[in-house]
Amino acid sequence: MSHPQEVGLRAGLGELGLDLTPEQMATLLAYQDWMVKWNRVYNLTAVRDPQEMLTHHVLDSLAVVLPLRRYLRDRTGHDRTRLLDVGSGAGLPGVVLAIACPELEVSCVDTVAKKALFIQQVAAALRLPNLLGLHARVETLTQPYDVVASRAFASLADFTRWSEGALAEQGVWMAMKGKVPHDEMAALPAGVEVFHVEPLAVPGLDAERCLVWMRRLAGAA
């Protein structure tokens, strides 16, 4: 693999404690190349510089892999896990999770058609059978997902309210945020509770990041 960002990716994976195969690493870098190429025409993301894209997008998304794996390891009696990435945009973190966690079935939903098309193109070009791009409003989705995720998408209240119909009965919400959003957590609907908040350390990124885990309160409609 001879890619300008290969060294940065290897170093970042080492800092995160992630052991990916050479094939997975090559696929992540190929995905970044697709983002760079499409970004010239479709404005998928405001980040233009490839090195900055590696840090702010790819490594930022990879930072949730171990927390997600820990959560899934604690679940018992479940088959293949279905994850929905809401307001996925260029596929962050959905595409990254589909590459790093092939055991997941990942759907990326976005209201912008060109962004959903980009996900579909990436899934085909990079041979990711566990990745699906959906052009829809999340409120219209009714198929149950075990994990409903978002990254810098909306307030926690709006995120959980809009995606309520897509959350499986025992499912969880996983929201990637910057600083711990105390005000947003306090404004959550009555039927939703935060059960865990964990800090995330993103290699090369000097900014606060955290992961907010939520679920329905027992007995909530």
Q: Which residues contact 17 (CB under 8 A, 6 or more apart)?
A: 66
Q: What is the pLDDT along the chain (221 residues), one digit of tens a residue?
A: 568 899 999 999 999 999 999 999 999 999 999 988 888 777 777 667 767 788 888 999 999 999 999 999 887 556 789 999 999 888 999 999 999 999 999 999 999 999 999 999 999 999 999 999 999 999 999 999 999 999 988 999 999 999 999 999 999 999 999 999 999 999 999 999 999 999 999 998 888 999 999 999 976 55
Q: What is the pTM of this model?
A: 0.94
Strands (E), the chain: 82-86, 105-110, 131-135, 145-151, 167-177, 192-200, 209-216
Q: How many helices (H) and strands (E) does the chain have?
A: 9, 7
Structural domains of the chain, with CATH: 64-216 (3.40.50.150)
Question: Phi-psi category of 152—alpha, beta or left, where left has phi over 0 and alpha has psi -120 to 50?
Answer: left
Tokens of 73: 């390891």
String of b and e for 34-68 (b: at least 16 CB within 10 Å)? bbbebbeeeebbebeebeebbbbbbbbbbbbbeeb
- Residue 176's closest CA among 92, 111, 106? 92
The pLDDT, as a whole number, for residue 152 is 83
Residue 88 buriedness (CB in 10 A; 0-12 / 13-18 / 19+): buried
- Whole-number Å distance between alpha carbons of 24 and 65: 13
- Whole-number Å distance between alpha carbons of 200 and 60: 9
Q: What is the pLDDT of residues 19-74, one digit of tens each?
A: 999 999 999 999 999 988 888 777 777 667 767 788 888 999 999 999 999 999 88
For the chain, state the CA radius of gyration.
17
The pLDDT, as a whole number, for residue 80 is 83
